[in-house]
Amino acid sequence: MKIKVRRASPQDVSAIAALVASYAKSGDLLPRSRQEIASSLVSWVVAVRGEAVQACGSLVHYTPMLSEIRSLAVAEDAKRNGLGMVVGQALIEEARGRGVHTLFALTRTTGFFQKLGFEISLEQRFPEKVWRDCRLCPIQDRCDEVAVVMNLNQPVIH
């Protein structure tokens, strides 16, 4: 059955919550509550096979210019089939369409993000993120995540 990538709908909330939770246990993703997902659906993209959510991802907007790719996840049995790539690309296009200049992520899967076109950066470049999430994180002193960044909509200089 063909995979379809689309914006998330209210029917997807439970499946998204379960997918994110499956990676939150290992610390690969931050937990997201059902309420949080439901109230930010416009920022979520899913890849579905029939009705089944196989992958998801979201944008978190800090300022009109700065956004984060958050909760990008592919079901364990669907990994390494390009789904992470298509959801990641859909989020990049969504951010570009919104006029975002700088898109970043914090991740343990640096190689995957580099394949998407991100470059390695420094967490300190994103004080908004550090202030909002990292300072509350129980393992902030031994964080093993790497900041990655992509610049979008760069102004053209004539």
Regarding 72 and contact with ligand COA (CB under 6 A), the answer is yes
Regarding 133 and contact with ligand COA (CB under 6 A), the answer is no
Distance, in Å, from the CA atom of 111 to the CA atom of 66, rounded to the nearest integer, reads 22
The residue range among 10-18, 95-103, 111-119, 126-134 that interacts with ligand COA, by the rule CB under 6 A, is: 111-119
Candidate residues 41, 65, 81, 149; the one interacting with ligand COA per rule CB under 6 A? 81
Regarding 115 and contact with ligand COA (CB under 6 A), the answer is yes
Q: Smaller CB distance to ligand COA: residue 50 or 111?
A: 111
Beta bridge partners of 44: 58
Q: What strand order describes the sheet that includes 146-151?
A: 3-7, 44-49, 52-61, 66-74, 102-107, 146-151, 119-120
CB of 62 to ligand COA, least distance (A): 16
Half-sphere exposure of 143 (CA within 13 A, CB side): 19
Regarding 85 and contact with ligand COA (CB under 6 A), the answer is yes
Classify burial at 64, counting beta carbons within 10 Å of its beta carbon; exposed 0-12, middle 13-18, buried 19 or more: exposed
The residue range among 6-14, 35-43, 76-84, 127-135 that interacts with ligand COA, by the rule CB under 6 A, is: 76-84
> For the chain, what is the radius of gyration of the CA atoms?
15
Regarding 74 and contact with ligand COA (CB under 6 A), the answer is yes
Q: Smaller CB distance to ligand COA: residue 141 or 144?
A: 144
To 10 degrees, the CA torsion angle through 140, 19, 151, 134? -10
Interface positions with ligand COA (CB under 6 A): 23, 28-29, 72-74, 79-85, 105, 107-109, 111-112, 115
